[in-house]
């Protein structure tokens, strides 16, 4: 058996094209482009590359991209003042402060300072609460992209056994909440879980987001399961996921590769959230069903 490969790069390109169409419609109705502001503190190489990619994708979608680069030793009050200015700017629909921040800055305080209605990263405690209680809000981009990829494989997620490996606030916890909202039966596996293998082995859906290269091997996977690998680990062999692709792909029914799986979906979903924010703020209707539904399968 060889798994169907879920092509996240192709799916993300399709999603970005739908977003660009939505942006064009928004501009015609609102008289301006949606605006996304990204704040980068310091010169972390990986963060700088990511910010450049976000800026490029934002402009390609027809949105306004605003970047603020601050030195690594910036005073916390200066960063918080910038966030306050962006909150008050009517041309800014989304605010993203790139993580990680330098050790002298309280990242949670900065996230909490962002207007929840401009928090397109979905990290604000109010948006986390909205997600947990089923209210409209912004969902973290990576879990949102994972659900879209899952829906490209499964016509219905209700009733499926799902295991999320990892319990971070950025991926693991919101991923579990999204799967619950789809009526999956959800288990979170973490560092203190007894017999993680047994939990993963029974899952119809496995979402790996633990940051350990190749932790989940083929013998962990239930035959025919769908495997979403969120891990991006830099090793001497190059980028690898949390799943051992070679062995897992011989057992799974469908699987995302690393790279080219979940990664491209994160930026696409960031643009999606920014467009949705702009629509809400300008009272311009955004057709979420048309925006989020895939026109083509992500599988190849």
Q: For 275-294, how does the pLDDT look when each residue is reduced to its tens digit (9 = 90+)? A: 999 999 999 999 888 888 76
**151 flagged as catalytic:** no
Q: Read off the pLDDT of residues 144-191 as tens digits, 9 standing for 90 and up.
A: 999 999 999 999 999 999 999 999 999 999 999 999 999 999 999 999
Predicted local confidence at residue 294, as pLDDT: 60
What average pLDDT does the chain have? 95
Angstrom distance (rounded) from CA 74 to CA 144 = 32
- Of the residues 93, 117, 119, 121, which is catalytic? 121
Task: Give per-residue pLDDT as tens, 188-226.
Answer: 999 999 999 999 999 999 999 999 999 999 999 999 999
Sheet of strand 226-229, all strands in order from the earlier edge strand to the far edge? 4-5, 254-255, 226-229, 205-208, 161-165, 185-189
Q: Helices in the chain by DSSP H: which ranges?
A: 8-30, 45-60, 76-88, 107-113, 125-133, 141-153, 172-181, 196-201, 245-248, 263-282, 288-292
DSSP calls for 124-155: SHHHHHHHHHT-S-PPPHHHHHHHHHHHHH-S
Domains in the chain, ordered, with CATH? Answer: 30-115 (3.40.50.10860), 141-255 (3.40.50.720)
In the chain, % of residues over pLDDT 90: 90
pTM for the structure as a whole: 0.94
Q: Across residues 83-104, what is the average pLDDT?
A: 97
Residue 121 annotated among the catalytic residues of the structure: yes
Residue of 93, 98, 242, 244 marked active site: 98
Structure confidence at residue 299 (pLDDT): 58
Active-site residue, selected from the candidate residues 7, 54, 118, 229 = 54
Tell me the HSE value of 85 on the side-chain side, using a 13 A CA sphere: 11
Separation CA 164–CA 65 (nearest Å):
33
pLDDT of 123 higher than 90? yes
* Distance between start and end Cα atoms, the chain: 15
């Amino acid at each position: 058996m060889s798994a169907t490969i879920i092509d996240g790069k192709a799916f993300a390109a399709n999603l970005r094209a739908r977003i660009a169409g939505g942006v064009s419609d928004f501009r015609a109705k609102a008289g301006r482009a949606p605006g996304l502001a990204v704040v980068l503190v310091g010169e972390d190489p990986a963060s700088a590359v990511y910010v450049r990619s976000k800026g490029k994708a934002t402009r390609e979608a027809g949105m306004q991209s605003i970047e603020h680069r601050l030195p690594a030793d910036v005073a916390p009050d200066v960063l918080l003042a910038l966030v306050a200015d962006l909150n008050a700017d009517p041309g800014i629909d989304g605010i993203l402060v790139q993580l990680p921040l330098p050790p002298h800055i309280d990242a949670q305080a900065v996230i909490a300072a962002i207007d929840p209605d401009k928090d397109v990263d979905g990290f604000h405690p109010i948006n986390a609460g909205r997600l947990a209680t089923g209210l409209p809000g912004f969902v973290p981009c990576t879990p949102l992209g994972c659900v879209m990829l899952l829906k490209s494989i499964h016509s219905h997620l209700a009733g499926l056994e799902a295991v999320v490996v990892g319990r971070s606030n950025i991926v693991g916890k919101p991923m579990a909440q999204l799967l619950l909202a789809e009526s999956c039966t959800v288990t979170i596996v973490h560092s203190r879980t007894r017999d993680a293998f047994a939990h993963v082995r029974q899952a119809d859906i496995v979402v790996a987001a633990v940051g350990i290269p190749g932790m989940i091997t083929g013998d962990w996977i239930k035959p025919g399961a769908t495997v979403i690998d969120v891990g991006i680990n830099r090793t001497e062999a190059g980028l690898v996921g949390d799943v051992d692709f070679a062995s897992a792909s011989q057992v799974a029914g469908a699987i995302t590769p690393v790279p080219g799986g979940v990664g491209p979906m994160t930026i696409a979903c960031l643009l999606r959230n920014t467009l949705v924010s702009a629509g809400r703020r300008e009272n311009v209707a955004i057709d979420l069903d048309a925006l989020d539904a895939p026109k083509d399968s992500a599988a190849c």
